[in-house]
Amino acid sequence: MNQTILRTEKLKAFYVLDVLGTRKVVKAVNEVDLEIRENEIYGIAGESGCGKTTLLKTLYAAIEPPLRLIGGKVYYRVNGEEVEVSSLSREEKRKLRWEYVSYVPQGSMSVLNPVIRLKETFRDFLDSHVSGKTKDEAFAIAREHIAALGLPQKILDAYPHQLSGGMRQRVTIALAALLKPRIIIADEPTTALDVVVQRGVVQLLKDIQQNLRNTIVLVTHDMGVQANIADRIGIMYAGKMVEEATTEGIFGDPLHPYTRYLINSLPRFGDKTTRESVPGSPPSLINLPSGCPFHPRCPYALEICKEQMPGFVKLDNNHKVACWLVGEGGNGKAS
Amino acid sequence: MEKLLELDRLTKVFTLGSVISRVRITATDSVSFYIKPAEIFALAGESGCGKTTVARMILGFEEPTSGAIFYNGKKGTKNEKVWFTEGIQAIFQDPFGTFNPLRTVDRYFFETVQNYKLAGSKEEAIRLIDEKLRAVGLSYEEFSGKYPNEFSGGQLQRISIARALLTNPTLLIADEPVSMVDASLRMSIVNLFKKLKEELGVSVLYITHDLATAYYVSDRIAIMFRGNIVEMGPVEKVLMEPKHPYTKLLRESIPEADPNKRWDTVITLADTEYEEYLRAGCKFAGRCPDVMDRCKDEVPPDIYVDGVLVKCHKYAGE
């Protein structure tokens, strides 16, 4: 098994808001334990508003008010040594960014500077991280990088508005991979794209991972994309991890009722039988239900679910699940 | 055969640019199709293929350059909007953009009741609104006096369907109704269309790029590409045995929720939409794996193969 490269311990990050004199706490990331390994694509899935993006921000150490790190730690393994991220200075963090860990934000189609050509954007990135390159050397590196990823070289001379949304998305991903980082964190890179373009983006991410043999943390609520690209998947619900397993494990033997709903609600070709959505709506992160946050929507809820949050238990095959119906105190699998 | 709505060679040309560099883009090129009563008809294709332009022309937001729209056999014109909009109602893509965040959602309902003179008194109006809300799984009590931010995206989308139902329409035009709704809640909207069709006999024009839900819910489907309908027929045939190379590509590009069915072939993507629109001949010729010489300059004819309309040279002369 590959070594762990990114690890969190009881990570808690809340938004603390002051609305008209009353304090509101949004529990976006609530005691998350993660172990992400080298050379794998780790998928994170869940409904909107379950804290996926906030989790990525804390992993990338981009915590800005009103988001606050309440507890827990994030560790990177840099050159064989584990580093605790919040202990680093601003300058040290800046050095790690893009060279060690890079981030593709959500809606990254619109992050490119609209008034300069893309090759200038590439040069900007190189300038701020690698010193002593002339303009031509920087352009040459950019061209080589674009060609290696199979994108047309003419896009370097274009302005962002001249490219389609899918192409801009792929350029942003190419930028994130420019300095060969060990970890790439991508937030919903395929959302809002057409199916054919989406397939192109998945293709690009897979190519990058295979070439660099690095780690990609991919957040998307699209279970079809997850099935296609991820090696392991974590399912998030209301700021907590509720299930984690290999992709085969999640799709072949989903244990948490929420995961089952997520998978079973997807329509499939050649099967027109009625499919049901997850009942109810996601809970508000300001006012979480007691016990297991899924219990108001769960058809199998027991008495204990309303009172106590189940632990995140490890079963065989490294399948982890947080549910009273499975393992710990439960009566075996839910039927 | 009874036709509820019929589009006859509907064409819309947009001109871009200034006097010197004028470009004409044919957003929809002779689009013809019809919708039967109590039928869900899907219009599918990528963004920029002209499907929203079709919806806008049906709803009267856009004047067609040529061609006509018939509703119940009558030609729809601008002046006769009332009978037209009473029978055809729309649901839009963004449920958060549909409602003004500073107005309570019930005001939209009372406004529609007033505009179409659907009720004589407030009690009658509330009874009508409650009935429509119950059809979508909500009720007047849990909804009155609330602002849009107090609902989730899925709930708001159901509220906008309930509002559309107030006039007892025979046809709903739903433009990408689920693309902004979470995947886990999509089925609640799509199942609702099915229920409306079965219980109230409402027809739906379901415009989407999501072929999986289109397959699940619709009876017939038309695949659009750069302003043309390239394949049209019963959904089982079009999506399970696609004939046009573009439909095949679309069908293969849908990620299946099965880790054993991963993509292994590499695809080429379009240069830009704009270049494809200006292409003479078949618009898909630049990316088509089965491209022939005549595809590049001859527009393919509409050919019927096994009850399915296909716009492709591959099936000509058979």
B153 near B96, Cβ under 8 Å? yes
Range among A135-144, A194-203, B213-222, B291-300 rated most confident: B213-222
Q: Is B235 on the interface with A (CB under 8 A)?
A: no
Is A266–B183 a contact, with Cβ atoms under 8 angstroms apart? yes
Q: Which residues of chain A neighbour B46 with C-beta distances below 8 Å?
A: 194-197
Q: pLDDT tens digits, residue range A48-95? A: 888 888 999 999 888 888 889 998 999 999 888 889 988 888 888 888
Cis previous bond, A66, omega within 30: yes
Q: A6-10, A16-20, A173-177, A218-222: lowest mean pLDDT where?
A: A16-20
Q: Is B249 on the interface with A (CB under 8 A)?
A: yes
Q: Which residues of chain A neighbour B188 with C-beta distances below 8 Å?
A: 277
pTM for the model: 0.84
Gap between the Cα atoms of B36 and B312, Å rounded: 26
B-proximal residues of A, 103-132, CB under 8 Å: none
Q: A41-50, A103-112, A258-267, B128-137: lowest mean pLDDT where?
A: A103-112
How near does any CA of chain B get to the CA of A236, in Å? 13
Instruction: Decide the pairing of beta strands B40-44 and B203-208.
Output: parallel
For A126-155, what is the mean pLDDT? 86
Q: Which residues of chain B neighbour A222 with C-beta distances below 8 Å?
A: 183, 255
Nearest Cα to Cα of residue B166 among B217, B122, B115: B115
Q: Is B272 on the interface with A (CB under 8 A)?
A: yes
Q: Is B115 on the interface with A (CB under 8 A)?
A: no
Is B184–A199 a contact, with Cβ atoms under 8 angstroms apart? no
Residue A94: CB partners within 8 Å, gap ≥ 6? none
B232 near B221, Cβ under 8 Å? yes
pLDDT level of residue B229 (50, 70, 90 thresholds) = very high
Q: Is A99 on the interface with B (CB under 8 A)?
A: no
Q: Is B117 on the interface with A (CB under 8 A)?
A: no
How near does any CA of chain B get to the CA of A164, in Å? 6
DSSP-assigned states of every residue in A87-117? GS-HHHHHHHBTTTEEEE-TTGGG-S-TTS-
Is B250–A195 a contact, with Cβ atoms under 8 angstroms apart? yes
For A294-306, what is the mean pLDDT? 91
Is B184–A268 a contact, with Cβ atoms under 8 angstroms apart? no
Q: pLDDT tens digits, residue range B243-255? A: 999 999 888 888 8
Residue A335: the pLDDT is 35
Residue A328: the pLDDT is 54
**pLDDT > 90 in chain B, percent:** 36
**What is the token pair recorded at A209?**
């991972």
**Residue B66: CB atoms within 10 Å:** 11
Residue A1: the pLDDT is 65
pLDDT level of residue A126 (50, 70, 90 thresholds) = confident
Residue with more model confidence, A129 or B103: B103
Is A281–B191 a contact, with Cβ atoms under 8 angstroms apart? no
Edge-to-edge, what's the strand order for the sheet holding A313-314? A101-104, A183-187, A215-219, A41-45, A232-237, A240-246, A320-321, A313-314
- Chain A residue at shortest CA distance from B255: A224
Whether the predicted pLDDT of A230 surpasses 80:
yes
How near does any CA of chain A get to the CA of B194, in Å? 10
What residue spans of chain A are helical by DSSP H? 52-59, 90-96, 118-129, 135-148, 165-176, 195-212, 223-229, 247-252, 257-264, 303-307
Q: Which amino acid is at B72?
A: N
**pLDDT > 70 in chain B, percent:** 93
Is A199–B240 a contact, with Cβ atoms under 8 angstroms apart? no
How near does any CA of chain B get to the CA of A272, in Å? 5
Gap between the Cα atoms of A305 and A297, Å rounded: 11
Contacts of range A123-132, beta carbons closer than 8 Å, 24 or more positions apart:
A125/A98, A125/A175, A125/A178, A125/A179, A126/A178, A129/A98, A129/A99, A129/A179, A130/A179
Helix (H, G, I), strand (E, B) or coil at B182: coil
Gap between the Cα atoms of A90 and A245, Å rounded: 35
Q: How far is CA A46 from CA A234, A286, B215, in A?
A: 9, 18, 24
Q: Which residues of chain A neighbour B47 with C-beta distances below 8 Å?
A: 165, 194
For A24-38, what is the mean pLDDT? 91
Whether the predicted pLDDT of B79 surpasses 60:
no
Q: pLDDT tens digits, residue range B180-228? A: 777 777 888 899 999 999 999 999 999 998 888 999 999 999 999 988 9
Q: What does pLDDT average to over chain B?
A: 86
Residue A331: the pLDDT is 42
Question: How many Cβ pairs closer than 8 A exist between chain A and B?
Answer: 129
Residue B273: the pLDDT is 60
Which of B149, B184, B240, B247 has the most A C-beta neighbours within 10 Å, making it the best mutation to test the interface with A? B184
